[in-house]
Structure 1
Amino acid sequence: MLGNLIDWFRRQTQIGLEGLPDNEVSGRYAYNVTCLLGAVFTVPFVIGYALAGAPLLAVTVSPLMLNFLLPRLIPLVGQSLALLIGGSVLISVFVVATFLTGASSGLYLFMFNGIVAVALLQSVTRPKESAVLVLVVIVAMAASRLLFPEPSGLLDVGEGFNRTVYVVTLIVLTSQIAAILFSLTAQVAQAEAALAAEHARSEALLQNLLPDEIATRLKDRPGEVIADGLPAVTLLFAHIVDFTPRSARMSPETLVGWLNRIFSAFDVLTAERGLEKIKTIGDAYMVAAGLPVARKDHAEIIADMALAMQAEVKRLSQELGEPIDLRIGIHSGPAIAGVIGTSKVFYDVWGDTVNTASRMESHGEPGRIQVTAATRALLADRYEFAPRGPVEIKGIGRIETFWLTGKR
């Protein structure tokens, strides 16, 4: 029984919320709560005046019915008109009630709920209309208090009854306002929690798209052009050999899952070494060291990455039941890095170093790591190499290259 009653109350507070703009939901919710509590708290007054034998029953029933109907009236006639109709009736009711009972009953104080309701519902969307309605309510309250200090004589319930009504009125109003504030605070807390969760998802997505330092710069200085000249970086390109014929015999789901498994393993290796994954291009994987923050061991850490990638694809070949070979190319030198685009922003690297590293991969051999003399010089005697000799690279010319075979 209690559960059904709570569910009914909850449904009443949700009236008219569906389809509302986000900035109006909290106000409408709190307004629904205000009207619902106004209807509920009117019941004791209806009972009290009925037991006292007063012919004020019709006057007290009116706020009960109107508070119950107002949330349903808004979708039919519009928010402003519903408030105008409801406000006019409620003001009239409480002015008449004060006229009959005198100001000592405190019934005019219930018009304060009109201020609360208007402030909650319209203060954001219609501030001027809200100010006018609030002013009308204040004037009506002041007029009721000043014009009808004594009962009219048409209703005789006694001063003792009036004092009881006044005390109950204060208790009811305080309880109602507390309940409204509590419900509104809970609604705001839910909205803030949802906003915080959305912000966290956005932050996580931004961190996945961009290096941490670049993401921070974009947030701190959103209008700044992100472009950095980098004197010393090392770039690695890795390409899955025979990917095209393999893709022709795999279903789309199988192919994407297979490729995702490989690149996800590379992502783990990248994260473990603090490297920066630049992008994947089809079946190619590009990773860099020395950007956006410079590091002295950029060549060495990329060499470790290349060797780890070779070991990883051997393991994955057994796990996936498919032989996997990589061509890997590495080159070191200066480059330019920055962010391009306004939607789907992208952190990229440009320059001859990028082109040369890419050619090291495309002119390499399956299962081998080809590096330039520049990278070989940075690695000194810490790694083992096999000379390949001069290689003719289109657009670059003949350059001396080496096969990286292991670490000493």
Structure 2
Amino acid sequence: MQERADRREWQLPKRLAWFINYGTGDLSGPELRQRRTLNGLSALIPISGLSYAALYLMSDARGLWPAALVALLFCLIVAWPFIAARNEVAAWVYGAGLAVIVQALLVWMLGRDSGLHLYFLSIPAIAIVCFGTRRVGPLVGLTAICAAALVYSEVMLTEPAAFIRVGDGLLTFLQVSAFVIVTAYVALGVYVGFLYADTAERALEVEYGRSEDLLYTLLPQEIARRLKAEPHTTIADSLPNVAIVFADIANFTPIAAKLDPQEVVQVLNRVFRAFDALADRLDLEKIKTIGDAYMVAAGMPNSVGDPAHRAANMALDMLEIAEAHASIVPDGLQIRIGMHVGPVVAGVIGNRKLFYDVWGETVNVASRMESCSAPGRILLTPAARAQLGDDFTFEKRGETEVKGVGPVETWWLTGRA
């Protein structure tokens, strides 16, 4: 017997949960919340109808039985979730029509002094809570009907119907309960509305902050601001003096062959994150990573007076970072670096997966310097060497055959003076 009682105790919440979630399988967001509210009210309103019917019968078993029968009609709202799951428009009409008709009959029977006509104020609010604001026309129509019914009840239905006998004490109780319940409905509706609005605004603020952070991660702040101000504008800048640094992990292909995919990504992530932090500290602009290659620039998007010096400091520190991370792979870690200085064109292409890119002969030559460099060393062009002057130390390498350019006199950057 005890086991059977325990089973009944657990079945009721499950049945109630099933009822509240009925027809919500394909819904999400506000529609899911509205349907669950509709289903919940479909369970509560019949309880209210039964309570009022019992009150009328207990007050006067003979004189108020018609009002009790009408109040029982509220139990028909239990079919609301099943109608809404098949046709939301039909559910809208069914719920609004049932509420207006039953309430109008009760007010006609019990008169204005019962206060029941005040419930007409709650019907449009319930429609908004259960169906949202998408159907403006029907909502305006329902509000007009309820307003007209409220005014008509207040002006014309001053007394109960001739066939109803109702005591003054019951009328006073009904009026007070109507004031309390309708006030609670309005307060709750306003509170819930503002609660959802505040929650949505806070969520939007959080998401806006995240999108801003992501945008400024993908693009320089100045470029991001320009795109936000003029989304359809073409970002194209001609910069006269930019230092480009290319770095590539030497022999990374055989190194990666000895590691599993997750380890490969972890190695690149650790090294390139250290490069990112270094670029931020030295105020350089990271352009992109291509496989195990890392590209960074000084003097863009805004021109600076010493791009070559910034880039040289970056390159030297990158060698130190690579040396510090050498132990994370079995055969050690070394990088080749190439650097060149000159004019470039920079801009943003397309409207998906945006990033601020750079083009021109300066970029190509810097990339060739990296290809011609050696592990653990930094190879410079004559233009880069000239701008660095005596602030750094160099080692002459001699002429280097550069693809697409020809022989170029090059230097190794060995340190700071």
Structures share a fold, TM > 0.5? yes
- The alignment yields a C-alpha RMSD, in angstroms, of 2.8
Q: 1:61 to 1:116 in 2, by over 3 A?
A: same
| Equivalent pair of 1:28/1:120 in contact (CA under 8 Å) | no
What is aligned with 1:52?
A: 59
Within 5 Å, which residues of 2 pair with 1:122-201? 122=131, 124-201=133-210
What is aligned with 2:72?
A: 61
In 1, Cα distance between the equivalents of 2:309 and 2:46? Answer: 75
Within 5 Å, which residues of 2 pair with 1:13-28? 16-20=23-27, 22=29, 24-25=31-32, 27-28=34-35
In 1, Cα distance between the equivalents of 2:391 and 2:136? Answer: 73
1:340 aligns with 2:310: no
SS at match of 1:218: helix
| Equivalent pair of 2:22/2:85 in contact (CA under 8 Å) | no
Q: 1:35 to 1:101 in 2, by over 3 A?
A: same
Moved more, 30-39 or 118-127: 30-39
Q: 1:254 to 1:25 in 2, by over 3 A?
A: same
Q: Deviations over 1:51-91 (max 9, x none)?
A: 3123222322333x245543453113x22211212222222
Q: 1:144 to 1:16 in 2, by over 3 A?
A: farther
What is aligned with 2:111?
A: 102
SS at match of 1:404: strand
Q: 1:5 to 1:163 in 2, by over 3 A?
A: farther
What is aligned with 2:266?
A: 257
Shift of 1:200: 2.9
In 2, Cα distance between the equivalents of 1:172 and 1:68? Answer: 21
| Equivalent pair of 1:314/1:324 in contact (CA under 8 Å) | yes
**Structure 1: which 5+ runs fail to align?**
none
What is aligned with 1:87?
A: 96
Q: What is the letter of the counterpart of residue 68 of structure 2?
A: L
Shift of 1:40: 6.1
In 1, Cα distance between the equivalents of 2:236 and 2:44? Answer: 59
| Equivalent pair of 1:37/1:176 in contact (CA under 8 Å) | no
What is aligned with 1:75?
A: 85
1:365 aligns with 2:396: no
TM-score normalised over the length of structure 1: 0.89
SS at match of 1:145: helix
SS at match of 1:277: strand
In 2, Cα distance between the equivalents of 1:380 and 1:37? Answer: 84
Moved more, 296-305 or 152-161: 152-161
Within 5 Å, which residues of 2 pair with 1:172-251? 172-251=181-260
In 1, Cα distance between the equivalents of 2:19 and 2:300? Answer: 57
Shift of 1:111: 2.1
| Equivalent pair of 2:96/2:127 in contact (CA under 8 Å) | no
Q: Deviations over 1:348-367 (max 9, x none)?
A: 00011101111111111221
SS at match of 2:149: helix
Identity %: 37
- Number of residues of Structure 1 aligned to a counterpart in Structure 2: 403
Q: Deviations over 1:197-254 (max 9, x none)?
A: 3333322322221112212221221111111111111110001111122223332222
| Equivalent pair of 1:325/1:367 in contact (CA under 8 Å) | yes
Q: What is the letter of the counterpart of residue 59 of structure 2?
A: A
| Equivalent pair of 1:232/1:334 in contact (CA under 8 Å) | yes
What is aligned with 1:293?
A: 302
What is aligned with 2:6?
A: none
In 1, Cα distance between the equivalents of 2:42 and 2:163? Answer: 30
Within 5 Å, which residues of 2 pair with 1:259-408? 259-408=268-417
| Equivalent pair of 2:255/2:331 in contact (CA under 8 Å) | no
Shift of 1:125: 2.2
In 1, Cα distance between the equivalents of 2:364 and 2:20? Answer: 63
| Equivalent pair of 1:41/1:172 in contact (CA under 8 Å) | no
Moved more, 139-148 or 13-22: 13-22
